[in-house]
């Protein structure tokens, strides 16, 4: 940690808070909608607008990052996620009827957050401390990802109806608001360079290296989409128990933690990786 500057430590804190808030609630958002309507169509469209909102936001955020502080985009993303949970709380049982709105809200929030986080990651860290940051971030997020859904699942399994979900969503809202407060302690960062989306598209179409990365990211996105939308929901439908879903999520995060440890040892043994 001594090699990490103030902003790197703050980014670790925001990342951990984000993971805890997401792990507390996102695992159960689809289940919440299912308990209200029991309709795959509604949940499918909710996830469609979720990822569509993320895609559009990434393009918009790229343009905005060239005219304003990237910390503002991070704050905007976490703030939008706070709005998402606030809207879900206010809508209550009617949330499933507004799947377009809630899907876009969570997509826009995550889009701004992940764009700014990925950008700040390279701005705040450097080749000398990037492996340390990755190791600490992997440790904190994996532990948070293990504990939060496990506790949420245990709590929800002891509640009737959807009352427990509202409590969990409210806690996530508070954690996101805390992350917003932390974001005000970052140093301001001036934007440099130009927004070159057309050049990126050309590179993707005509250069093999870019094309391969693009295809790999599409494959990863497809995998993540299936896991986010279907696997967790099927675990709940089969077991009819939120605690089982929370335990499943905890095991996944536990495997991630072990993987981070093994990859970290491999990188240390082989002299790290090529730094960007």
The pTM of this model reads: 0.86
Structure token digits, residue 247:
């335990």
Q: CA-CA distance, 165 to 147, in Å (whole number)?
A: 17
**150 located within any domain:** yes
H/E stretch holding 44: helix 40-64
**pLDDT at position 272 over 60:** no
**Averaging pLDDT over each range in 12-21, 24-33, 225-234, which range is the top one?**
12-21
Interval 139-196: pLDDT, tens: 888 888 888 889 999 999 888 878 889 899 999 999 999 999 999 998 887 777 788 8
Q: What is the 3-state secondary structure (H, E, C) of 142-206?
A: HHHHHHHHHHHHHHHHCCCCCHHHHHHHHHHHHHHHHHHHHHCCCCCCCCCCCCCHHHHHHHHHH
Residue 275 placed within a domain: no
Predicted pLDDT of residue 27: 76
Residue 252 lies in a domain: yes
- Average pLDDT of the chain to the nearest whole number: 86
CATH number at residue 232: 1.20.1250.20
The number of distinct structural domains making up the chain is: 1
Query: Over 80: is that where the pLDDT of 227 sits?
Result: no
Would you say residue 248 lies in a domain?
A: yes
In a domain, residue 274? The reply is no
No. of H helices and E strands in the chain?
A: 10, 0
Residue 90 CB contacts under 8 Å (≥ 6 apart), including other chains? none
State the DSSP code for 127. T
Q: Given pLDDT bands bounded at 50, 70 and 90, which one contains residue 201?
A: confident
Residue 9: pLDDT band (50, 70, 90) is very high
CA–CA distance, 32 with 126 (Å, rounded to integer): 41
Give the residue numbers spanning the domain of 30.
Answer: 6-269
Q: Has residue 1 been placed in a domain?
A: no
Higher pLDDT, 150 or 2: 150
Neighbouring C-alpha atoms within 13 Å toward the C-beta of 132: 13
- Provide the token pair at 196: 């070159």
CA pseudo-torsion sign 234, 174, 21, 151: negative
For residue 68, the 8-state DSSP code is S
**Domain assignment of residue 226, yes or no:** yes
Is the distance from CB of 171 to CB of 16 less than 8 angstroms? Answer: no
Q: Which residues contact 265 (CB under 8 A, 6 or more apart)?
A: none
Tokens encoding 170: 């409210």
- pLDDT at position 274 over 60: no
φ, ψ of residue 229 in degrees (nearest 5): -85, -45
Cα four-point dihedral sign 52, 104, 195, 137: negative
Q: Is residue 254 part of a domain?
A: yes
- How would DSSP label each residue in 212-249? HHHHHHHHHHHHHHHIIIIIHHHHHHHH--HHHHHHHH
Write the CA distances from 8 to 93, 137, 182, 257, 258, integer angstroms.
40, 10, 12, 21, 23
- For the chain, the straight-line distance linking the first and the last C-alpha, in angstroms and rounded, comes to 21
């Amino acid at each position: 940690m001594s090699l990490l500057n103030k902003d790197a430590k703050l980014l670790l804190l925001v990342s951990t808070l984000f993971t805890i808030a997401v792990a507390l609630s996102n695992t159960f958002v689809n289940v919440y909608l299912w308990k209200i309507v029991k309709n795959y169509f509604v949940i499918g469209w909710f996830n469609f607008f979720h990822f569509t909102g993320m895609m559009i936001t990434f393009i918009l955020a790229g343009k905005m990052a060239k005219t304003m502080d990237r910390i503002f985009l991070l704050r905007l993303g976490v703030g939008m996620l706070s709005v998402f949970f606030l809207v879900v709380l206010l809508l209550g049982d009617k949330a499933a009827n507004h799947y377009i709105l809630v899907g876009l809200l969570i997509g826009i929030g995550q889009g701004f957050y992940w764009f700014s986080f990925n950008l700040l990651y390279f701005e705040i860290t450097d080749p000398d401390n990037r492996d340390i940051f990755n190791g600490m971030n992997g440790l904190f997020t994996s532990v948070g990802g293990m504990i939060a859904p496990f506790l949420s699942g245990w709590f929800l399994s002891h509640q009737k109806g959807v009352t427990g979900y509202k409590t969990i969503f409210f806690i996530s809202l508070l954690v996101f608001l805390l992350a917003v407060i932390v974001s005000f302690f970052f140093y301001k960062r001036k934007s440099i360079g130009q927004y070159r989306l057309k050049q990126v598209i050309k590179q993707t179409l005509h250069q093999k290296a870019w094309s391969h990365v693009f295809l790999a990211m599409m494959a990863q996105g497809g995998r993540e989409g299936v896991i986010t939308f279907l696997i967790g929901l099927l675990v709940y439908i089969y077991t009819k128990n939120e605690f089982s879903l929370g335990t499943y999520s905890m095991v996944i995060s536990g495997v991630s933690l072990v993987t981070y440890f093994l990859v970290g040892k491999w990188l240390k043994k082989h002299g790290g990786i090529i730094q960007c």
